[in-house]
Amino acid sequence: MARLIPDFISEDCKSNAERRLFERFRDELPSDVTVLHSLGVARHDYKLTSEADFVLIHHEAVIVFELKGGRVARRDGAWFFTNRYGQMHKRLESPMQQAASVTAALRNSVRDHFGSSSAQARVAFGHVTFFPDIEFREESPEWDVRRIYDISVWKRPLAELLADAIGYSRTEMSRITGHEPRVLTDAENADLVHFLRGDFEKLPALNVAMEEHEQQMIRLAPRQYAILDQLGKNPRMVIEGSAGTGKTLLAMECARRHAAQGRRVLFVCFNRLLADHLDSYSERYGLTQGVSINTLHGHCLSVLHAAKVAIPPECSAQELYQEQIPNQIPAAVAGLKDFKPWDVLVVDEGQDIAAHPPFVAALKCLFAGGFEKGCWTWFEDPRQRILRQGSGPVFDLAAWSPVYFELNRNWRNTNEVATFTCLSSMIPLPELSGIQGPQVKTELCDGSDNLLKLQIVVADILAQGAKPGDIVLLTTGAEKDAFFINAGYVGGKRLVRYDFRQGVPVDAIRYSSVFRFKGLESKIIVLTDVRDLHSDAGRMAAYVGMSRANSALFILFSKEAQQQFEKNRLDFASLPQPVVA
């Protein structure tokens, strides 16, 4: 089966001929063929932009398919195309000229990107014009009849037609250039596919603090593209990655793609702040249709409310959220006659949900087929499992035979922040972003003058031009125990609790606990109350807190933590060293 990108055809595609050919490409062509549908080509000799209906990429050739369904006529030098709705369109350019010109533009783009002597530039490029609804036997010096297919060949296997197009394109290129066309290796083929697709697949950045100041676009990495390509092939997937590798961005795109195909998506995370942010993000970029975003407990409470299930008032908060609410979901769902399970489950922060079996039991009741037979994608960072209590077993997703993928590259942090974070927590370095930033600054903060030192640190940050809204203070402990909690002002600016729904304050600095801020990020993080870099729990809290910083990180250490940091620095040499992009 061929690889199609994207692997579904948009509802906006009105051409029945395109839909039929798309399905035949998918079902008939071999796995060594990649089919790009509706590929935009920005650089054209005489058009601002152009588009190829289909581009087929094979080791031996790149073939552009121009498709013209319905009725076709030429009168007085102009071309007329009539679709199945009776609508007529007039063009001066013939379909054959269109196919030839977009092929030339595509080859020029490939040559400019890879170089004129590259294999990608020297592989055969060809084009085919396909009339699937009519016989086209007209001859003219304006076109090559060998590059035209019509209804007479529609029932022939597409693999034969493609082989014919590849063979003729290679023969013609050899005749014209005097050189035998190149044959792409697997790596060269993959690079070409990534380049062609990269022109038109972009996603808005998930940057919590900075998106209030400027919008930016980021590209998914080839590894992330490969994961998205597997959505239609693997109903159950687990994607693991350390902090900053793009799990949440990828989870949102995964949900969007499922929803675009008409599926109802249950999107689950653990932290309330992250759920609020993702909900706002989805509204801003029009991703809400078909996607229900909430925390695990938020989804569960909605079901319990619909089922009119009462929550025992006498239990503790821990018992309520870790046992009572999730444990009542199976019975509540069974009692709802009109309950319709979601079609797909997408989980972010999966490490925190897997740590508690009642959470998993609740989830499997909410989507069709459950974990055994349903469609689900699970994103997690085992290093962030700071919510786990005791030594009980963690839910093992392997029982349901998912396909596993790993994200290795850090996209969020500068090299300095990523390296310092891993050094402090004794976690092996991921592949670094390659982005240089300021050195991480530390301050010994272990006495009665803690607040004064924090005031000086923040005042210095502001003096360097940072905006108050760029800064988030994090404490590794509970918010109520933070030494700055009653300060009111820090660095001359108001101190307010982080609440995404309130937006970025103009003249205030926000604070939160590491626990609440999981999954989020800020341009500048000031991490306080770092007292323990020895225990697993202490290092894990430091890892999560430090990795929230996009560009600049400031640490307020206790004396004991600073000593442990120096020990970790010496021991760090035994861990895998960074790869810089």
Q: Is residue 425 a contact partner of residue 539, using CB atoms and an 8 Å limit?
A: yes
Say yes or no to pLDDT of 575 above 70.
Answer: no
**pLDDT tens-place string over residues 97-141:** 989 998 998 999 999 989 999 999 999 999 999 998 889 999 999
Conformation bin of residue 290: beta by default, left when phi > 0, alpha when psi is -120 to 50: left
Q: Is residue 433 a contact partner of residue 418, using CB atoms and an 8 Å limit?
A: yes
Distance CA 130, CA 302 (A): 52
Say yes or no to pLDDT of 4 above 60.
Answer: yes
Percent of the chain's residues with pLDDT above 70: 88
**pLDDT tens-place string over residues 357-411:** 788 888 989 999 999 999 999 999 877 765 454 455 567 788 888 999 888 888 8
Structure tokens at 153: 């060949």
Structure tokens at 46: 């005489």
**pLDDT tens-place string over residues 205-217:** 333 333 433 333 3
pLDDT of residue 215: 37
Say yes or no to pLDDT of 34 above 60.
Answer: yes
Distance CA 292, CA 341 (A): 12
What is the pLDDT confidence band of residue 50, given thresholds at 50, 70 and 90?
low
Structure tokens at 36: 């790009």
Least confidently predicted of 4-8, 272-276, 356-360, 393-397:
393-397
Q: Give the residue from 171, 175, 42, 50 showing the smallest Cα distance to 100.
A: 50
Top-confidence range, 207-211, 292-296, 354-358: 292-296
Distance CA 12, CA 19 (A): 11
Give 367's strand partners: 342
Q: Residue 46's Cα: distance from chain center in Å?
A: 35
Q: Is residue 32 a contact partner of residue 59, using CB atoms and an 8 Å limit?
A: yes
Say yes or no to pLDDT of 537 above 80.
Answer: yes
**pLDDT tens-place string over residues 187-209:** 899 889 888 875 444 444 333 33
Least confidently predicted of 165-174, 444-453, 523-532, 556-565:
444-453
- pLDDT, the chain, mean: 84
Q: Is residue 211 a contact partner of residue 139, using CB atoms and an 8 Å limit?
A: no
Structure tokens at 172: 């013609």
Give 269's strand partners: 295
Distance CA 519, CA 310 (A): 31
Helix (H) or strand (E) holding 493: strand 493-497
Distance CA 212, CA 523 (A): 11
Distance CA 176, CA 468 (A): 64
Distance CA 284, CA 269 (A): 19
pLDDT of residue 264: 95
Alpha-carbon torsion (55, 56, 57, 59), positive or negative: negative
pLDDT of residue 479: 94
Say yes or no to pLDDT of 311 above 60.
Answer: yes
pLDDT of residue 393: 57
> DSSP letters along 424-473, please?
HHT----EE-----PPPEEEE--STTHHHHHHHHHHHHHHTT--GGGEEE
Examine residue 6 and say whether the peptide bond preceding it is cis (omega within 30 degrees of 0): yes
What is the pLDDT confidence band of residue 236, given thresholds at 50, 70 and 90?
very high
| C-alpha pair distances (Å), 504 with each of 276, 471, 500, 550 | 14, 10, 7, 16
Percent of the chain's residues with pLDDT above 90: 41
> DSSP letters along 246-285, please?
SHHHHHHHHHHHHHHTT--EEEEES-HHHHHHHHHHHHHT
What is the pLDDT confidence band of residue 17, given thresholds at 50, 70 and 90?
confident
DSSP state of 359: H
Q: Is 378 helix (H, G, I), strand (E, B) or coil?
A: strand
